[in-house]
Amino acid sequence: MKRDPGRDSPYAAPPPLPRSARSLVVAAYALLAVAIAMDLATNPTLTFSPVLATAPVLASIGTRRARVPLITGLLALAVVAPLALADPDVALAVHLTAGATVLAITLVSTANVVLVATRERELLQSRSVAEAAQRTLLRPLPERVDGLRVAVRYLAAAAEARVGGDLYEVLSTPYGIRLIVGDVRGKGLSAIETAADVLGTFREAAQVEPALGTVARRLDAAVGRRQAGEEFVTAVLIGVPRSGGPAELVQCGHLPPLLWHEGRVTEVDAPLPDPPLALRNMVPGPYRREHFAFAPGTSLVLYTDGVTEARDATGRFYPLAERLATFPDLAPDPLLDRIVADLRAYTGGALSDDAALLVVRRER
């Protein structure tokens, strides 16, 4: 992951001010200059020196360097003296009060810049930790896995978020290619810990268990051992044989995958889906396996409900299958770019929940 070298600087450059804000700051500086000129040119019984206290405040806008408002404030303080000489009929107490006000606001403005810069550094460090957690939990997927082209997108509902309760993985195993997409029904760190448990168990079990249903059973046990109240995980597990035969599906209360081929979209649904992970004891028996045709040139789209439950301004859910049917034939990566752009346009750019999208395409 590429990083901006300036982001790790203690005084990383803040984002540029919007044009309207810059115009207001320039206007404020102009008014300050006019006030000083009027003070020098008008009645010696009147002084505008108190307005110099605005100088360090203006200088602190849009900077993370503490010396900028400090130097500006000291220069403003130095201007108070010639203004006092230009207005001899103004009481000395007025000029002293103006000087004290300029000094006080200079110190406050400088301290505020230091505080903001410190908090931004702490936030930057937190984001670095979150990015490291994401790389560990949701590892980057290879573009190709044993005849499959792969692409994934993770969309965080909060701009500060890097990882949440949605999960995905694609593995090459002795039993073919195995995929999982899931969604933890929980919040906060507990959801992240559950996602980590599910992915850790899947990465181990998928390599040693011949039956996909047994993999699901082990995932259910891993989530059940957490005893995290009402927390559970919906998940869909897919097995794709290298031989080119039908793919295998184990549906654990998750949304049905979509098959997309030449503008035609079909759901891959299980007639009797199994319960979510951690709830298997409510429906005793083995996991049901469904087989479906996964022909060359076909893309399999797996997703979480952050996609299909995204709403437009009128409250309508995003119709993923309907929109998918209108897209041209695309490889997984550009297809996901198209879906994400369409989803953001549909919702106005805001998501109410984290969303994960995984597309695998069987090559011809």
141-362 CATH: 3.60.40.10
Give the pairing of strands 232-240 and 176-185. antiparallel
Is residue 4 pLDDT above 50, yes or no? no
Mean pLDDT of 239-262: 92
pLDDT of 6 reads 38
Give the phi and the psi of residue 301 in degrees, each rounded to 5: -110, 120
pLDDT of 153 reads 93
* Nearest Cα residue to 238 out of 212, 207, 270: 212
* Nearest Cα residue to 3 out of 321, 11, 12: 12
Is residue 231 pLDDT above 50, yes or no? yes
Is residue 253 pLDDT above 90, yes or no? yes
Model pLDDT for residues 303-337, shown as the tens digit of each residue: 999 999 999 989 899 999 999 999 988 999 999 99
Could you give the CA distance from residue 264 to residue 242 in angstroms, rounded to a whole number? 24
Do the beta carbons of residue 228 and residue 294 sit within 8 Å?
no
Give the pair of three-digit tokens for residue 240.
């794709």
Domain ranges, ordered by start, for the chain = 6-132, 141-362
pLDDT of 2 reads 36
Question: How high does pLDDT run on average in the chain?
Answer: 84
* Dihedral angle over CA of 86, 88, 90, 95, nearest 10: 60
Give the phi and the psi of residue 232 in degrees, each rounded to 5: -150, 175
Mean pLDDT of 36-52: 73
Model pLDDT for residues 335-359, shown as the tens digit of each residue: 999 999 999 999 988 787 889 999 9
| pLDDT confidence bin for 213, thresholds 50/70/90 | very high
Cα-based angle 180, 171, 338 (whole degrees, multiple of 5): 60
Give the pairing of strands 355-362 and 299-303. antiparallel
Strands (DSSP E) found in the chain: 144-145, 148-155, 166-173, 176-185, 232-240, 247-252, 258-261, 264-267, 290-292, 299-303, 355-362
pLDDT of 252 reads 94
Contacts of 107 (CB under 8 A, 6+ apart): 73
Mean pLDDT of 213-221: 95
Mean pLDDT of 69-96: 81
Mean pLDDT of 84-96: 76
Axis crossing angle, helix 67-86 with helix 92-137, rounded to the nearest 10: 170
Mean pLDDT of 213-239: 88
| Residue carrying structure tokens 């503008």 | 263
Percentage of the chain beyond pLDDT 70 is 87
Is residue 11 pLDDT above 60, yes or no? no
Percentage of the chain beyond pLDDT 90 is 43
Maximum separation of any 2 CA atoms in the chain, in Å: 98
Model pLDDT for residues 274-296, shown as the tens digit of each residue: 999 999 888 888 899 999 999 99
The residue ranking higher by pLDDT, 206 or 96, is 206
Could you give the CA distance from residue 354 to residue 83 in angstroms, rounded to a whole number? 59
Model pLDDT for residues 111-131, shown as the tens digit of each residue: 999 998 888 888 777 666 666
pLDDT of 183 reads 93
Could you give the CA distance from residue 277 to residue 233 in angstroms, rounded to a whole number? 5
Model pLDDT for residues 158-208, shown as the tens digit of each residue: 654 555 678 999 999 999 999 999 999 876 677 888 888 999 999 999 999
Count Cβ atoms below 10 Å from residue 19 Cβ, excluding itself: 8
Could you give the CA distance from residue 17 to residue 23 in angstroms, rounded to a whole number? 10
> CA 185: distance to chain centroid?
19
